[in-house]
Amino acid sequence: MEAHPRLLKALEVRLPDDHCKIMPFIVKHDNTVLCGVRDAVSGRGEGERMAGTPSCQDQAYQPPAGPVSVETAPEASAGSTAGGATRTHTASAFVRDYMAFLLPRDLNLLWTIGAMLVAVLALMLLSGLTLALTYTPDASLAFTSVETLERRVPFGWLLRSMHMTGATFFMAALYLHVFRGLCYGSYRAPRQGLWGVGTVLLMMVMITAFAGYVLPWGQMSYWGADVAGKAVGAIPLVGNALERVFLGGDAPGTATLHRMFVLHFTLAFSIVGMVILHVAVLHARGSTSPSGAVGQNRARMLPFHPYFTVKDGLGVVLLALLFTLVMCFWPGLVTEVENYRPANPLHTPADIEPEWYFLPFYGMLQAVPSKFFGLLVSGGAVAILLFVPWLDRGNSATFAAGRWGGLCWLPRVALTVLVCSFVLAGLAGRHHVQGVWLLVGRLATLGYYLYFLGFLPFYSRLAHKEARS
């Protein structure tokens, strides 16, 4: 903890407090870079300015230009000239601020996943809003309304397959995003808040995905809701009451569908709010980089636009390509055929299993003999992410210095074990934790928790010891 004030000081220096010096838009294509970005690009000192470029003061009070000025134009014409001008200035400064946001130049492919997530979220919102125009949350009508969508509504088939494929891609990208955070220690000071907001987002997305899966009211929707209701019912004391609140009755039905629809709809927009918060915190704290503190040196950073807009754009296009291939040529990867049978409370399917992204947690749920403790373990597997910044007490400064007493292979092994445990828990969940899969499921659960409760505290203590000596 001794290194903490030092780090904050470093942060203070790094934060882009003088935006007027940065004019990110001016990069000519004959590779001459005009003001602002030059120092970051060439790696030379900030004080050196290219001859003939406008000074800082000249840039700061430029008349507003671009699309932002359009929305404030009516106000300005109505007479409140001063207020309108200030507003316009604020808006354009805001955009300029965000476009000039400095990022480490060595960010790799894993850092474009954030942009991909935003793109998929936008797609999910738009397709979801359009689907909601036809969907009917009623136990006797829901399945038929979804079939109507797929068969008769113009381009309904396209909207629905985008929404279904989007769910899978969203969760996959989100898991990779979390993996990147764990891999590069993105949760360390001063970014605990960023990590916390992100983890809450992960939970919200998971709940939204579950609620959305219930809506088509196929066999898996019905029995998934049934299993989830029973899992909630396993909580001691309040379980039964909670189950009734969740299902709106003794068994899944119209009341459940209403609940899930409202939950799905409201959480989707809450997620948008949380994403805005997530990005705002990111802008306040700055981004991590693969090379740690070295990459966060201000001289080695580049503005968001045009360097990272083009990189993120490329990432989004590549994701869209993969998305199209899966959606159009391999739809079996993201659809569950059993859900094309209408819900039938009298006929339990042989294999009740959730979508692939919940399988690891489903495996953990089943690996524990007690229902309630199983719920605790599988819910805790997500909740423990919230506590990662406090389990790993290290920070970038201590980690940059240490030599790890010859244990530098350990984090790599630990992370591999974590990923393998996650995948194996999913496979165990898929096989209903029977026979040898019971053992696999338990070992995977153990391996998963060992990373957070064993490895992280141990390793950060080791780092502290080294930093002190």
Partner 1 sequence: MSFAVRSLAAGRRGSVRWLPQVVAGVLVCSFVLAGQGALTASAQAAPPSGAPAHAPAQNWSFNGPLGHFDLGAVQRGYAVFAGVCASCHSLTQVHFSDLGDMGLTPEQVTALAASWQVAAGRDAEGHLKHRKATPDDALPRPYADPDAARAANRGAVPPDLSRITQVYPGGPDRVYALLTGYAPVKPPTAEAGAAQPEAGFANPYAIGHRTAMPPPLRDHAVMYADGTQPIAQQEARDVTTFLAWISNPHADDKRRLGVGVGLYLCFLACLLVILKRRIWSHVAK
Catalytically active residues are 283, 287, 311-312, 355
Instruction: List the one residue from 141, 176, 281, 386 that touches partner 1 (CB under 8 A).
Output: 176
CB of 103 to partner 1, least distance (A): 12
CB of 135 to partner 1, least distance (A): 15
Instruction: List the one residue from 21, 163, 177, 180 that touches partner 1 (CB under 8 A).
Output: 180
Stretch that binds partner 1, among 68-76, 100-108, 364-372, 377-385 (CB under 8 A): 100-108
d(CA 324, CA 165): 9
Q: Where in 113-152 is the site for partner 1 (CB under 8 A)? A: 144, 147-148, 150-152
CB of 11 to partner 1, least distance (A): 18
Q: Where in 215-274 is the site for partner 1 (CB under 8 A)? A: none
13, 138, 254 from 250: Cα distances, Å: 60, 16, 12
Q: Is 248 helix (H, G, I), strand (E, B) or coil?
A: coil
285 makes contact with partner 1 (CB under 8 A): no
79, 405, 407, 459 from 466: Cα distances, Å: 66, 8, 12, 11
Stretch that binds partner 1, among 75-83, 128-136, 191-199, 304-312 (CB under 8 A): 304-312
Adjacent-strand bridge partners of 303: 102
d(CA 37, CA 78): 38
Instruction: List the one residue from 105, 283, 298, 432 that touches partner 1 (CB under 8 A).
Output: 105
d(CA 204, CA 271): 7
Q: Where are the alpha helices (DSSP H) in 234-308?
A: 239-247, 254-285
d(CA 455, CA 461): 10
Q: Is 169 helix (H, G, I), strand (E, B) or coil?
A: helix
Instruction: List the one residue from 265, 387, 404, 458 that touches partner 1 (CB under 8 A).
Output: 404
Instruction: List the one residue from 3, 27, 257, 397 that touches partner 1 (CB under 8 A).
Output: 27
Q: Print the binding letters for residues 362-401 with partner 1: x by CB under 8 A, - otherwise.
A: -------------------------------------xx-
Instruction: List the one residue from 185, 196, 233, 447 that touches partner 1 (CB under 8 A).
Output: 185
* Other residues' Cβ atoms within 10 Å of the Cβ of residue 241: 12
Vertex 349, ends 263 and 376: CA angle to 5°? 50
Please give the structure tokens belonging to residue 31.
């590779």
CA pseudo-torsion sign 341, 347, 351, 357: positive
Q: Print the binding letters for residues 310-349 with partner 1: x by CB under 8 A, - otherwise.
A: xx-xx--xx-xx--xx-xxxxx-----xx-xx--------
Nearer of residues 267 and 440 to partner 1, judged by Cβ: 440
CB of 340 to partner 1, least distance (A): 4
Nearer of residues 254 and 291 to partner 1, judged by Cβ: 291
Contact predicate 217/228, CB 8 Å: no
Instruction: List the one residue from 193, 239, 292, 454 that touches partner 1 (CB under 8 A).
Output: 292
169, 178, 350 from 334: Cα distances, Å: 9, 21, 20
d(CA 6, CA 8): 6
Nearer of residues 246 and 437 to partner 1, judged by Cβ: 437
d(CA 345, CA 218): 11
Stretch that binds partner 1, among 93-101, 239-247, 254-262, 286-294 (CB under 8 A): 286-294
Please give the structure tokens belonging to residue 154.
């113009």
Q: How many residues bind partner 1 (CB under 8 A)?
A: 73
d(CA 167, CA 357): 10
Stretch that binds partner 1, among 114-122, 240-248, 252-260, 309-317 (CB under 8 A): 309-317
Instruction: List the one residue from 45, 403, 406, 469 that touches partner 1 (CB under 8 A).
Output: 403
Nearer of residues 166 and 411 to partner 1, judged by Cβ: 411
Q: Where in 405-464 is the site for partner 1 (CB under 8 A)? A: 408-409, 411-412, 415, 419-420, 423, 426-427, 430-431, 459, 463
Nearer of residues 243 and 353 to partner 1, judged by Cβ: 353
d(CA 208, CA 358): 12
The string of DSSP letters for 3-63 reads THHHHHHHHHHHS---GGG--TT-B-TTS-B-TTHHHHHH---TT---TT---HHHHHTPP
CB of 183 to partner 1, least distance (A): 4
Nearer of residues 61 and 409 to partner 1, judged by Cβ: 409
CB of 273 to partner 1, least distance (A): 29
